Amino acid sequence: MSRPARYSNEHIVRVALRLLARRGPREFTAQALADELGITPGALFRHFPSMSAIVDAVIESMEARLFSGFPLGDDDPLRCLEKVFRYRIDVIHAHPDVSRLLQSQHLGRAAGKTMARRLAEFKRRSQKFVRDCIRHAAARGELDPRLDPEAAAVIVLGAIHALSHVGVRVVKSRSHGAIVEKVWRVIEDVLRGRRAR
């Protein structure tokens, strides 16, 4: 007889992510996780060999959510930037516990140095992607020539941060899509040097 779906590795990782995000590494114990799942710690370790392995799986799950939809090979750097902007905000809005972990030190403390470096690399990778899109657009003459590419990257990254991490608590679901659209239009106008529409 197969185990119930709620005991799948994927479900354990989702619950572990939520537990880490909401209660922190001190309360992230085998007993606490097993209690959340409604199983025993022994049953938990039939799925994962250790708590470290669970944390590793949480980080892999976050990486998949954050980067699997990044557009690749788009010839238009500003369209590519727009896709990343919308994708990242949508992912974090749909998974607020990912936002909590990215903004806290919880996962870094629970993960150890190697995985903490990997988590920091997520942030660097996102920032590099945005900067590369902007530099590519500038090289093609698509940016306002008065605009510093590094300043433009800060504007885009700041908007992503505000709308995804802070916005999870501020922007209600009904108005989420509309505000993301308005903010992107303002950013694009600034990048291209157009008057606001």
Write the pLDDT tens digit of every residue in 68-108.
877 766 689 999 999 999 998 888 888 888 888 887 776 66
What residues contact residue 16 under an 8 Å CB cut-off, 6+ apart?
Answer: 28, 33, 54, 55, 57, 58
Using pLDDT thresholds of 50, 70 and 90, give the confidence band for residue 54: very high
The domains found in the chain, sorted by start residue, are 5-57 (1.10.10), 62-192 (1.10.357.10)
C-alpha–C-alpha distance, residues 27 and 36, integer Å:
12
C-alpha–C-alpha distance, residues 129 and 160, integer Å:
13
Write the pLDDT tens digit of every residue in 153-162.
999 999 998 8
Structure confidence at residue 196 (pLDDT): 59
Task: Check the CA dihedral 14-17-130-118 and report its sign.
Answer: negative
Selection from 106, 93, 45, 47 nearest residue 66 by Cα: 93
What residues contact residue 88 under an 8 Å CB cut-off, 6+ apart?
Answer: 66, 126, 160, 164
